[in-house]
Amino acid sequence: MKTFPMFLQMAGRHVVIVGGGEQAAQKARLILKTEARLVLVAPELDAELGALVAMGRAEQVPTLSVGVFRGAALVFVATGCVALDHVAHAFAKEAGAIVNVVDRPALCDATTPSILDRDPVVVAISTEGTAPVLARQIRSRMEVLLEPALGELAALAGRLRAEVNQRLPQRERRFFWEWVFNGPPRQALARGAGREAARLVKDRLATGEACSVQGRIALVGAGPGAADLLTLRALRLLQEADVIFYDRLVDPGVLELARRDAERVFVGKEIGASSWPQDRINAVIVAAARQGRQVVRLKSGDPGIFGRVGEELETARAAGIPVEIVPGVTAASAAAASLGRGLTERGATDRLMLATAACKPGDPDPDWATMLQPGTTLAVYMGVRKAPSMIRTLRAASIPMGLEAEIISNASTPREQIIRCTLGQVPEALAEQSIENPAIILIRWSKPAGARTRSEIAA
């Protein structure tokens, strides 16, 4: 960051605006949202600014001097005159003020962010002056996410905070506030029932019903790698979690989205290093939930696709612990997106097969030839080490070696690699490019067109 975001206390302070026209009025409208006193420096003011002085909302000073800037919390210079802007800037700096000169970035100590106001909830968005239009676009999206009356609920929370601190032990307070902001009060507020929201909060606090701590487990898909492919529900759960048990393939950028004080426990399996057996993982996530903690079991991709989700679900349910599954973008989908096409194509490949080469120890390899038939896209997960034996099996079953194959390693991440070759060339391509797992091997066998035969496709 070139600039540091900070919210300033404005009560009992004053802000100086130099200028008497529309640009100065724009800054005045912004500062009027705060408790700061306005000082307008200009010999003449437009009607809007003049009305502020007449109502006692602002003070007018007709001439520039160093003294007018002393002690100012902020200074905005908006005269529209290059020479006068420079003079005002020099006086303000001599007085030790923080200055923003409108449309002159070189003279700015600070820039004005795009502000989303849900007082007392305030969201400030800045692009450090590089792209104001983008900042406004981000603000527009945030307007949709944060309901207009959200500030009412935040204000109520502020009024009740002392009572909550008095009634509830420290460990239980966060659970109470999560119920307020994620549960029925927030839902009531969203439909415009502000009084109902306040009543729900006060009633629950009075009865203490919300104080009981219920541990939960969420089996969350982290997606294929890129943090911005995370679902909104997964993001919310990460920000609510007390403890996160995460796999080796979870991208660090995803973990950065979690609550800062959430405990992070690595339970991945590294080749040649100590690993976590599945039964041990099952035990620790249940133990954490029994302590009343909100547990996220974070898995790469989609937890329901080769993520051993069944074993963890069964253990949690047997212990009587609430558990949910949050889907994620699976690696095959991300791989196809990187290739710029879908996994299926009408009239060519209308069947999708997902298979893993990382089978349970002692189990036979999948029946590759049965899976790969005309009209099929076969997506093989973690197939790098088993690729030579898979190709031998397919060749022995007379599967055409000329079929289109694509290998996508670390899909959606900066480390992504893509290789295109024929099915028969897959082992050599993997070796030549030193590809390692995680990787997806996509094999496409389009439906025969007309009199096309296996031998023609193979050729």
Q: Of 304, 329, 354, at which residue does a domain stop? A: 329
Q: Under a CB-based contact definition with an 8 Å cutoff, are residues 65 and 57 in contact?
A: no
- pLDDT at residue 427 in the model: 95
Q: Of 302, 329, 356, at which residue does a domain stop? A: 329
Instruction: Answer yes or no: do 441 and 406 share one domain.
Output: yes
Q: Of 166, 181, 211, at which residue does a domain stop? A: 211
CATH number of domain containing 359 = 3.30.950.10
Instruction: Answer yes or no: do 268 and 350 share one domain.
Output: no
Give domain status of residue 43, yes or no.
yes
| Cα(399)–Cα(179) distance, integer angstroms | 57
| Interval 207-241: pLDDT, tens | 876 555 568 899 999 999 999 999 988 998 998 88
Give domain status of residue 5, yes or no.
no
Give domain status of residue 383, yes or no.
yes
Instruction: Answer yes or no: do 174 and 245 share one domain.
Output: no
| Cα(44)–Cα(20) distance, integer angstroms | 6
Q: Is 447 a catalytic residue?
A: no
Give domain status of residue 9, yes or no.
no
Expressed as residue numbers, the domain containing 251 is 216-329
- pLDDT at residue 211 in the model: 52
Q: Is 27 a catalytic residue?
A: no
| Cα(309)–Cα(330) distance, integer angstroms | 14
Instruction: Answer yes or no: do 341 and 452 share one domain.
Output: yes
Instruction: Answer yes or no: do 176 and 164 share one domain.
Output: yes
Instruction: Answer yes or no: do 247 and 325 share one domain.
Output: yes
| Interval 124-134: pLDDT, tens | 999 887 888 99
Q: How is 203-246 classified by DSSP, letter by letter? A: HHHHHTGGGS---EEEEEE-BSS-GGGS-HHHHHHHHH-SEEEE
Per residue of the chain (459 residues), what is the pLDDT tens digit?
888 888 999 999 999 999 999 999 999 999 999 999 999 999 999 999 999 999 999 999 999 999 999 999 999 999 999 999 999 999 999 999 999 999 998 999 998 888 899 989 999 999 887 888 998 899 888 887 788 888 999 999 999 999 999 888 877 787 788 888 877 888 788 778 888 999 999 998 888 765 555 688 999 999 999 999 999 889 989 988 889 999 988 999 999 999 888 999 999 865 444 478 889 999 999 999 998 888 999 999 999 999 888 999 999 999 999 999 999 999 999 999 999 999 999 999 999 999 999 887 778 889 999 999 999 999 999 999 999 999 999 999 999 999 999 999 999 999 999 999 999 999 999 999 999 989 999 999 998 765 344 444 554
- pLDDT at residue 270 in the model: 56
CATH number of domain containing 83 = 3.40.50.720
Instruction: Answer yes or no: do 419 and 303 share one domain.
Output: no
Annotated catalytic residue within 46, 93, 202, 269: 269
Instruction: Answer yes or no: do 189 and 96 share one domain.
Output: no
Give domain status of residue 136, yes or no.
no
Give domain status of residue 32, yes or no.
yes
Give domain status of residue 282, yes or no.
yes
SS3 136: helix
- pLDDT at residue 168 in the model: 84
- pLDDT at residue 209 in the model: 66
Give domain status of residue 179, yes or no.
yes
The structural domain count of the chain equals 4
Instruction: Answer yes or no: do 19 and 92 share one domain.
Output: yes
Listed residue (365, 431, 414) closest to 392, CA to CA = 365
Annotated catalytic residue within 247, 251, 299, 386: 247
Instruction: Answer yes or no: do 404 and 337 share one domain.
Output: yes
